[in-house]
């Protein structure tokens, strides 16, 4: 006899996951929509609305997987990256556009993503289970692990040693803001997180207000795009991804997805670049190399995102990866529902509320929902969708929507002080990201260093 409570949980998770897949499949079509700026605030909203843990998890994962399929549409067809992780795919995609086969690039990318997603979830859960026995020791050592992870992630970011050095003043700014808000009896956490997430956007808005900055952003002509005719090479609505890719491409996609599913500390962009270069060095024929690298790289974007969210969440409950500290942060720390205790490293989040089998089951459900929504849509309607987005969708309206959402959440948490903290963190973080490559992943680790590591350091040497 089926358990009615479990059945209800599955139905709720499926419904919320389907919503996430649809929403982020659409957002992925809009070029330049950063994962942190979109995934994080909407996931946070789902958490704060009281959605059950299984629904929160399924919403996030289905959204992430769906977005990393449809982000291939503007990347392949328009020659502009769909989001941050699509940037390493742009050069190879543009070369195939010049050859007149952007539809081939798109199909290889989307097929690589769906295959990698189905592989990454069980492998990430497996690696997390293997690491779980060390969870208690890692949790106890959380302040020092966060410090080490922050330094490591900073070094492997685009800023390298500059990013490592910038951690010190960035952490000091957070501590100073915490001291200021504490004087007025206001304790903030979400506002710091949202400020970092939309930092580049706030920096751009301030740049537009400056005559000097506005002058640098002026363009002498309207940007134009050329779309090749769509060519369909299959019958039916849902093509088989294993037939879209050849055997060599399938093998490389599976291999790179397996490797990236076991790593959770390094930058997703770095993993995409490094594994793509590895694949490219093993394929000699130029055209086959381009299509194989695109298949593998987009598979890596899926697998890395899944692993960097799942492994820290399942094994430790602590956001010990760039993805966990960035787009997936609401799964770990979203007071008052989910918390990471700054003093002890103790957690109350999805790590405590779902077991390993639930993570596996709901994770596969999320991937299935994203596959049903995004894969056939991208394969059958990509050209029409890209044409509609480029002609009809206002990027300003999308940005304004997210700005409005973030203002509401910040005022809810800290009234006017919450809004001021978001503006301050966003402006500082956005400028540091633009000028020094001090990206949002490093900044999130800087935030956790401030709230976890600094108190431990002061206690040790105080």
Give the Cα separation of 263 and 310 in Å (integer): 11
Q: What is the pLDDT of residue 157?
A: 75
Q: How confident is the model at residue 59 (pLDDT cuts 50, 70, 90)?
A: very high
Q: How confident is the model at residue 390 (pLDDT cuts 50, 70, 90)?
A: low
Q: What is the pLDDT of residue 231?
A: 61
Contact 17, 58 (CB under 8 A): yes
Q: How confident is the model at residue 39 (pLDDT cuts 50, 70, 90)?
A: confident
Give the Cα separation of 221 and 215 in Å (integer): 14
Region 221-234: mean pLDDT is 62
Name which residue leads in pLDDT, 132 or 176. Answer: 176
Most confident of 29-33, 276-280, 429-433: 429-433
Region 168-191: mean pLDDT is 88
Give the Cα separation of 5 and 2 in Å (integer): 9
Q: What is the pLDDT of residue 227?
A: 58
Statement: residue 285 has pLDDT above 60: yes
Give the Cα separation of 451 and 453 in Å (integer): 6
Q: What is the pLDDT of residue 393?
A: 63
Residue 224 CA, distance from chain mean position = 28
Contact 133, 143 (CB under 8 A): no
Statement: residue 65 has pLDDT above 70: yes
Name which residue leads in pLDDT, 159 or 233. Answer: 159
Contact 378, 244 (CB under 8 A): no
Strand partners, 459: none
Statement: residue 389 has pLDDT above 70: no
Region 357-364: mean pLDDT is 94
Statement: residue 129 has pLDDT above 60: yes
Q: What is the pLDDT of residue 189?
A: 74
Name which residue leads in pLDDT, 27 or 140. Answer: 27
Statement: residue 123 has pLDDT above 80: yes
Q: How many CB atoms lie within 10 A of CB 131?
A: 16
Give the Cα separation of 61 and 334 in Å (integer): 17
Q: What is the pLDDT of residue 1?
A: 42
Name which residue leads in pLDDT, 103 or 33. Answer: 103
Name which residue leads in pLDDT, 170 or 447. Answer: 170
Q: How confident is the model at residue 234 (pLDDT cuts 50, 70, 90)?
A: low
Query: Within the chain, how many helices (H) and strands (E) appear?
Result: 23, 2
Give the Cα separation of 437 and 169 in Å (integer): 15
Q: What is the pLDDT of residue 201?
A: 78
List Cα–Cα distances, 266 to 11, 72, 186, 207, in angstroms.
35, 22, 34, 31
Statement: residue 362 has pLDDT above 90: yes
Share of the chain above pLDDT 70, in %: 89
Statement: residue 252 has pLDDT above 90: yes
Statement: residue 5 has pLDDT above 90: no
SS3 category, 220: coil
Strand partners, 61: none
Q: What is the pLDDT of residue 114?
A: 92
Name which residue leads in pLDDT, 228 or 102. Answer: 102
């Amino acid at each position: 006899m089926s358990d009615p409570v479990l059945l209800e949980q599955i139905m709720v998770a499926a419904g919320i996951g389907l919503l996430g897949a649809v929403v982020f499949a659409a957002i992925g079509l809009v070029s330049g929509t950063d994962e942190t700026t979109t995934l994080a605030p909407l996931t946070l909203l789902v958490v704060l609305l009281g959605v059950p843990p299984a629904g929160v998890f399924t919403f996030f994962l289905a959204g992430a997987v769906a977005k990393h399929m449809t982000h291939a549409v503007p990347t392949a067809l328009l020659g502009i990256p769909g989001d941050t992780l699509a940037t390493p795919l742009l050069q190879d995609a543009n070369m195939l556009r010049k050859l007149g086969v952007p539809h081939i690039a798109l199909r290889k990318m989307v097929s690589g993503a769906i295959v990698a997603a189905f592989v990454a979830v069980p492998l990430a859960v497996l690696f997390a289970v293997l690491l779980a026995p060390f969870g208690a020791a890692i949790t106890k050592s959380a302040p020092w692990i966060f410090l080490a992870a922050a330094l490591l992630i900073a070094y492997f970011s685009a800023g390298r040693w500059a990013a490592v050095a910038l951690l010190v003043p960035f952490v000091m700014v957070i501590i100073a803001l915490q001291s200021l808000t504490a004087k007025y009896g206001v304790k903030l956490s979400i506002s710091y997180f949202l400020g970092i997430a939309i930092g580049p956007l706030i920096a751009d808005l301030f740049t537009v207000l400056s005559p000097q900055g506005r002058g640098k952003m002026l363009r002498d002509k309207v940007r134009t795009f050329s779309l090749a005719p769509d060519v369909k090479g299959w019958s039916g609505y849902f093509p088989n991804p294993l037939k879209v890719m050849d055997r060599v491409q399938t093998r490389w996609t599976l291999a790179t997805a397996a490797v990236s599913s076991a790593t959770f500390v390094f930058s997703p962009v770095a993993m995409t670049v490094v594994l793509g270069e590895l694949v490219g060095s093993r394929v000699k024929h130029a055209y086959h190399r381009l299509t194989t690298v695109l298949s593998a790289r987009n598979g890596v974007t899926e697998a890395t995102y899944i692993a960097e969210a799942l492994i820290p969440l399942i094994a430790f409950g602590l956001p010990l990866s760039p993805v966990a500290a960035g787009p997936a942060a609401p799964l770990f720390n979203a007071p008052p529902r989910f918390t990471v205790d700054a003093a002890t490293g103790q957690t109350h989040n999805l790590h405590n509320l779902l077991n390993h089998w639930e993570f596996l089951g709901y994770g596969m459900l999320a991937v299935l929902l994203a596959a049903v929504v995004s894969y056939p849509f991208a394969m059958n309607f990509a050209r029409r969708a890209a044409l509609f987005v480029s002609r009809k969708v206002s990027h300003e309206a999308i940005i304004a929507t997210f700005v409005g959402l973030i203002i509401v959440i910040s005022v809810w948490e800290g009234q006017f002080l919450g809004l001021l903290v978001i503006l301050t963190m966003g402006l500082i973080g956005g400028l540091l990201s633009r000028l020094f490559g001090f990206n949002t992943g490093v900044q999130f680790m800087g935030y956790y260093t401030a709230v976890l590591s600094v108190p431990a350091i002061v206690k040790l040497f105080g």
